[in-house]
Structure 1
Amino acid sequence: MTKQKLIITGATGFTGIHACRYFHQAGYEVIGVSRQPSKIGNNQVHFESCDLTNKEELSDLIQRNKPDRVLHLAGQNHVPSSWSNPIASLETNTISTAYLLEAIRQQTPNCKVLVVGSALQFDVNDITTLDHPYSLSKTLQVLVAQSWELLYEMNIVIAKPSNLIGPGKSNGVCSILARKVAEMELLGAEKVLTVNNLLAQRDFLDVRDAVCGYEILFKKGQSGSMHDMNSGLPKYLKEITSSLQAISSIDFTVESVKDKLEEKISKLPSDLLLENMPALIPFEKSIEDILNYQRGLLR
């Protein structure tokens, strides 16, 4: 049986590294794409360097590889950076998606594409829900994907994951806190963990469960559909700090800057396929793996 050829953009990013490993083990012929040259998975994954904001370079990539499926993970996902350089966020998240979909439409129109959006998208019917340029860029990215699916009858599915956690390089709150604890353990940093609001509540989904969910969407997701992906078990920030205290090799205290609930907690619309996903990886295991990863960086 011929392997399905899968291009994964953003292959060297937090989710991309896990996705390359997972889909290779699942039997796909994986082509990892990133702007910077790199080697992924001990030569188990074919790697190509490509700037997705360069439409000629991108078109050549699709023409040469003719993928059966594309998992589009690449993008700028740092909210503060979107404030300082909003145009770069629009180019990286929105324009590059249009270039990618157009190249696929022209070169391999039967390819199934999974575009990964963000829980930080805003409601296009209420502009007051727009909080930052990053949200704008991801919302427009999804609108582009939906438009290409509608106008050109392409096979495009959209995933909208909640906060992804797990071992690896991440700017998420769990990784930031775990790194601080690892610095206390290994570098002698002050044994105080300062957080903004212990009662802030968010949904967390392990990145390894999310990648498994992406394969489900490749197999079962209907073209034009958007699927929320979450654990359905929101956690308070206090639960994260308590988990870290329970598994740390040292004792440390936790200080809270705020002790009231967040005024606004975004709620994802219901989804029949991947909402309230059964966690294959327990939350406590996610936190432990994140801490071990941060420890490894410091050793």
Structure 2
Amino acid sequence: MKILVTGGAGFIGSTVVRRLLSAGHRVVVADLLTYAGSRANLEAVADDPGLAFEAADICDARAIGDIFQRHRPEAVLHLAAESHVDRSIDGPASFIRTNVDGTGVLLEAARAHWRALTAPARDAFRFVHVSTDEVFGTLGAHGRFSEASPYRPNSPYAASKAAADHLVRAWHATYDLPTMVVSASNTYGPRQFPEKLIPLTLIRAVRGEALPVYGRGENVRDWLHVDDHANALLAVLERGAAGRSYCIGGGCELANIDVVRTLCRLLDEASPRADGLPHESAIAFVADRPGHDLRYALDSSRAAAELGWRPRVRFHDGLRDTVRWYLDNRPWWEAILRGGAYGGERLGLASDGPEAGQ
């Protein structure tokens, strides 16, 4: 199968691309290579004959239409997005442009392509849109979000993804385009851009800097390893039903402070501080993010029942491997910090302080 992957040079996208190629699929990556996307993320498969790369903006209707016409994909995995909540607080316009307008452009290009296919190919075509648990808002101490949960986004990022979800569902209901929506929980693993909690904490610890934690660190997230996320998307692509939505959670709920402390203990073993103090001694509680959702958790029972998918990577094992990857690949993240796209500064409060987080 030939699959168009938007955002395929990003953190999750590049993992999906490698997984697709290893499964024998042909892949066309469309990525604008903004600050969080890099050809370096695809270096391991750069010479694979099954990979084609297109530097393209999903908001550019002419460019996207040309990609569909030249490559004739049999499916689309739509991962291209602005994805960091703090950045959306500082600058929501780019989130609306990419996540809403870009999704609309892509849907229209996919619809024109799909309508021109012959009947068997039209029946097999799929458009998988990758969303987030943040569209559902916040949970209290109990319960989990499911595919039936109402949408209550509380950040510009979440609102832009919610709008994209609604567009995808509307194109199915109105035009019969065979779309699916995947709402995934907090994803972690190698090659994640340093603005997110785990890589940022890890890098700051290695550099001997303070480890900022929002509020008291009590916000709870459901943690999903990037390999499990990629496998879930393949399962949706291969076995999902058109018009269906799927929640993909890691089944591992942890407060942010517990994630940071676990990370510190792993670093105490793998990269001790020069002063002999535990890395946890550098934790600093900072002003909370505006509108910070208290808790996310997803019910993945539909994905288990209909797709046969379940998360396989235990959090502690996945986090240990992630620590090892960042320690072994310092040039990757040092280049990002030197390049000026992001230097570890706090985002989302319109301040110039050094803190940052997820």
TM over 0.5: yes
Question: What is the one-letter code of the residue matched to 2:28?
Answer: I
Shift of 1:225: 1.1
Unaligned runs of 5+ in 2: 116-121, 138-147, 273-277, 287-291, 332-358
Find the residue that maps to 2:302 and give its secondary structure.
Answer: coil
Pick aligned residue for 1:55 from 34, 58, 61? 61
Partner of residue 8, structure 2? 11
Question: What is the one-letter code of the residue matched to 1:108?
Answer: W
Shift of 1:205: 0.2
- Distance verdict in 2 for CA 1:84–1:210, change over 3 Å: same
Partner of residue 163, structure 1? 186
Partner of residue 209, structure 1? 228
**1:272 maps onto 2:302 in alignment:** yes
Q: Distance in 1 between matches of 2:211 and 2:110?
A: 47
Q: Distance in 2 between matches of 1:266 and 1:24?
A: 32
Contact 2:126 2:179 in 1 (8 A): yes
Pick aligned residue for 1:181 from 198, 205, 209? 205
Pick aligned residue for 1:149 from 162, 169, 172? 172
CA deviation profile, 1:82-130 (whole Å, cap 9, x unmatched): 2333222111001111111111111234221110011111469988x43
Q: Distance in 1 between matches of 2:189 and 2:85?
A: 20
Partner of residue 186, structure 1? none
The alignment of Structure 1 onto Structure 2 pairs a total of residues equal to: 286
**1:104 maps onto 2:110 in alignment:** yes
Partner of residue 28, structure 1? 25
Q: Distance in 1 between matches of 2:74 and 2:304?
A: 23
Identity %: 22
Shift of 1:297: 4.1
Q: Distance in 2 between matches of 1:54 and 1:46?
A: 19
Contact 1:227 1:271 in 2 (8 A): no
Contact 2:261 2:280 in 1 (8 A): no
Shift of 1:277: 6.1
Question: What is the one-letter code of the residue matched to 1:292?
Answer: R
Pick aligned residue for 1:295 from 327, 331, 341? 327
Q: Distance in 1 between matches of 2:302 and 2:227?
A: 20
Find the residue that maps to 1:280 and give its secondary structure.
Answer: coil
**1:140 maps onto 2:172 in alignment:** no
Find the residue that maps to 2:242 and give its secondary structure.
Answer: coil
- Distance verdict in 2 for CA 1:264–1:247, change over 3 Å: closer
Question: What is the one-letter code of the residue matched to 1:58?
Answer: I
**1:43 maps onto 2:71 in alignment:** no
Find the residue that maps to 1:74 and give its secondary structure.
Answer: coil
Partner of residue 343, structure 2? none
Contact 1:35 1:51 in 2 (8 A): yes
Contact 2:28 2:53 in 1 (8 A): yes
Question: What is the one-letter code of the residue matched to 2:67?
Answer: L
Partner of residue 245, structure 2? 226
Find the residue that maps to 1:158 and give its secondary structure.
Answer: strand
Pick aligned residue for 1:193 from 211, 218, 234? 211
Shift of 1:67: 0.6
Find the residue that maps to 2:303 and give its secondary structure.
Answer: coil
Find the residue that maps to 2:132 and give its secondary structure.
Answer: coil
TM-score (norm 1): 0.86
- Distance verdict in 2 for CA 1:122–1:244, change over 3 Å: closer
Q: Distance in 2 between matches of 1:142 and 1:126?
A: 12
Contact 2:8 2:17 in 1 (8 A): yes
Pick aligned residue for 2:128 from 108, 114, 117? 114
- Distance verdict in 2 for CA 1:126–1:242, change over 3 Å: closer
Quote the RMSD (CA, aligned, Å).
2.6
TM-score (norm 2): 0.73
Find the residue that maps to 2:103 and give its secondary structure.
Answer: helix
4+ long deviations beyond 6 Å: 123-127
**1:172 maps onto 2:191 in alignment:** no
Deviates more, 1:32-41 or 1:60-69: 32-41
CA deviation profile, 1:144-178 (whole Å, cap 9, x unmatched): 00000111111111100000000113332112212
Question: What is the one-letter code of the residue matched to 1:139?
Answer: A
